[in-house]
A and B are shown apart, each in its own frame.
Chain A
Amino acid sequence: MKNGQNVLRIQEHHDCAFVRRVEQQSHQKVSQCYQCGNCTASCAFTDDYDFPVNQIMRLIQLGRKETVLGSRAIWLCGQCQACTVRCPCTIDVARVMGTLRVLALENGYVADKNLRRFADEFLRSVSLFGRVFEAGLLAAYKLRSGTVLSDMELAPELLKKGKLSFVPHRIGGRREVAALVKRFSSAL
């Protein structure tokens, strides 16, 4: 195992409540996984993962809550569905990965702060205007994440092609939308 943990005491680190929670929230039965590895074989993002998907599934089976929720992999998943489509055990693996993100946030684990920042800015934009105001969102995100310089080469092209609108479109029902965001998100 990674992180120098070469001996794992199975009983000591088994968090049953975590396994149940993942299964309930994702509506998937993780015990169905027999570790064929097809999710990893099909994963476009596995190069950057700390644990390949099949090991994430194994770690859930073993109830290793901290390792799973603290992993980088769950934040890098692109939700491309390749794992779900090819799973011979018909587990919606992408959905499990999505569920893990929600649980990680709930439990105060955030492996990728930038992703969190972007998500917050996105929903803020939705609450303000009812739709996403791309130019404003990108500017706000880049500013907050301190990554102003990355992707800078794209801006002139976008401006030239008239692809970035600088006037946000406010919809009539934006208060209604803001209320929905407020009601169903823990973030804002």
Chain B
Amino acid sequence: MPMSDCVAYYPGCSLEGLAVEYDVSTRAVCRALGLTLVELNDWNCCGSSPASLHEPMLSAALAGRNLLLAQENHLNTVMTPCPGCLKALKGAIKIRDSHPEALAQALGRPLSEQVHAVSVLQLLYEKVGPEALSRAVRRGFDGLPVVPYYGCLLTRPQAVARFDDPENPVSMDRLLEAVGCTVPDFPFKTECCGATSGITRSDIVSRLSGRILDMAQRSGARAIVVACPLCQQNLDLRQAQAEKAMGTRFGIPVFYLTQVIGWALGLPQKDLGLEKLIVPGDGLLPAREPPEPSES
């Protein structure tokens, strides 16, 4: 594959730790679908929300350094699975477009106008698409009802995200349908899960995530599918806290989108990090072994 068809991969710090399964499943799925990821060498933290407490250039510079790494590798598309990192990268790109000299001064080098950032969801939706994905399925989900939870940042604000609908996004719905899931109406697709409040105010996360888990349960979903490490932690790791706060029991597994797609593609469990989920989801996965790929 020529270098121009490759995609720069920026995992972000969470994917080295609490969301390691998102990292392995993203790599595995992209490989299986013929997308070549080139991990940025020596990437650094994007600054996340703590950087936003300081002048705007801090966030832009930290994120911008990673974009520069991509540029130096002659890669124009930077993919990150983490919406928080995506927000930081897009923030840097916005400053590149409005104040190119200031950013170049901060980074020591100018950042090319060609470099842009996408989420893994956008990459899968636009580069592969539901049709091609459904053709690649080897272990369909046979109508398993799941709800996609997009979170706050993947499609919002629209002017920055420039992807899907800010209020009722459907890209993940389409990909999940393509692997055989049924997707009931889920009105809380973009309602906030509590974001980073968990660190200082876990009660807020319990309440907000509890609301989302409750709505998922009411809609008849057996699992929630996410595309954000923070959402996954709040819904999965802190599910017990939410259950305690609401005096109920959910027991809803929270998969990463890449885990669900990976399983449907017939990838082995170890490539998807499914054992890392706090609320186990193994019971929901179609057990049937993938048939031998037929020649056609």
Tell me if chains A and B make direct contact, with any CB pair below 8 A: yes
B196 within 8 A of partner (CB)? yes
A172 to chain B, nearest CB (A): 5
**Do the beta carbons of A180 and B54 come within 8 Å of each other?**
no
A80 contact from B44, B195, B278, Cβ within 8 A: B195
Q: Is the interface of A mostly helix, strand, loop or mixed?
A: helix
B128 within 8 A of partner (CB)? no
Interface string of B50-61 (1 = CB under 8 A from A): 111111011001
B202 contact from A134, A151, A184, Cβ within 8 A: A151
B254 to chain A, nearest CB (A): 13
Flag the segment in A8-16, A28-36, A62-70, A97-105 that touches B.
A97-105
User: Which of B43, B50, B166, B190: most chain A Cβ within 10 A?
Assistant: B50
B158 within 8 A of partner (CB)? yes
Chain A, residue nearest B158 (CB): A85
**Do the beta carbons of A45 and B204 come within 8 Å of each other?**
yes
Q: Given A119-B53, A180-B106, is A81 in contact with B153 using a C-beta cutoff of 8 Å?
A: yes
Q: Given A79-B152, A85-B156, is A123 in contact with B17 using a C-beta cutoff of 8 Å?
A: no
B window 187-207: CB within 8 A of A: 190-192, 194-202, 204, 207
Residues in B with CB closer than 8 Å to A114 are 199-200
**Do the beta carbons of B152 and A132 come within 8 Å of each other?**
no
Interface size range on A against B: 35 or more
A148 within 8 A of partner (CB)? no
The CA of A60 and the CA of B102, in the complex, are separated in Å by: 29
**Do the beta carbons of B197 and A81 come within 8 Å of each other?**
no
**Do the beta carbons of A126 and B42 come within 8 Å of each other?**
no
Q: Given A78-B194, A154-B238, A162-B276, is A85 in contact with B167 using a C-beta cutoff of 8 Å?
A: yes
A115 contact from B47, B55, B200, Cβ within 8 A: B200
**Do the beta carbons of B199 and A118 come within 8 Å of each other?**
yes
Q: Given A45-B204, A82-B192, A134-B13, is A122 in contact with B55 using a C-beta cutoff of 8 Å?
A: no
A window 34-78: CB within 8 A of B: 44-45, 47-48, 76, 78
Chain B, residue nearest A121 (CB): B50
A163 within 8 A of partner (CB)? yes
The CA of A126 and the CA of B197, in the complex, are separated in Å by: 20
**Do the beta carbons of A177 and B157 come within 8 Å of each other?**
no
Residues in B with CB closer than 8 Å to A84 are 156-157
A185 within 8 A of partner (CB)? yes
A135 contact from B17, B45, B194, Cβ within 8 A: B17
Q: Given A80-B192, A85-B167, A163-B18, is A180 in contact with B61 using a C-beta cutoff of 8 Å?
A: yes
B208 within 8 A of partner (CB)? yes
B window 69-91: CB within 8 A of A: none
Residues in B with CB closer than 8 Å to A153 are 240-241
B window 261-296: CB within 8 A of A: 275-276, 278
B48 within 8 A of partner (CB)? yes
A123 to chain B, nearest CB (A): 6
A126 contact from B62, B190, B275, Cβ within 8 A: B62
B151 to chain A, nearest CB (A): 8
B248 within 8 A of partner (CB)? no
B window 141-167: CB within 8 A of A: 152-153, 156-158, 166-167
Residues in A with CB closer than 8 Å to B61 are 180, 183-184
The CA of A130 and the CA of B65, in the complex, are separated in Å by: 11
**Do the beta carbons of A118 and B50 come within 8 Å of each other?**
yes
A158 contact from B14, B237, B240, Cβ within 8 A: B237
Chain A, residue nearest B52 (CB): A98
B16 within 8 A of partner (CB)? yes
B20 within 8 A of partner (CB)? yes
Residues in B with CB closer than 8 Å to A116 are 53
B205 to chain A, nearest CB (A): 9
**Do the beta carbons of B65 and A177 come within 8 Å of each other?**
yes
**Do the beta carbons of A82 and B152 come within 8 Å of each other?**
yes
**Do the beta carbons of B62 and A163 come within 8 Å of each other?**
no
A-B contact sample (7 more), CB < 8 A, given A131-B44, A157-B278, A185-B51: A76-B201, A79-B152, A102-B55, A116-B53, A125-B45, A171-B43, A183-B106
Closest 9 A/B residue pairs (Cβ) = A80-B192, A184-B58, A119-B50, A78-B195, A80-B152, A44-B192, A122-B50, A132-B13, A134-B17
27 contacts between A and B (CB under 8 A): A78-B192, A78-B197, A80-B152, A84-B157, A85-B167, A101-B52, A101-B53, A114-B200, A119-B49, A119-B50, A123-B47, A123-B50, A125-B45, A126-B44, A131-B13, A131-B44, A131-B45, A150-B202, A151-B198, A157-B237, A158-B237, A162-B276, A163-B17, A163-B18, A177-B62, A180-B106, A184-B61
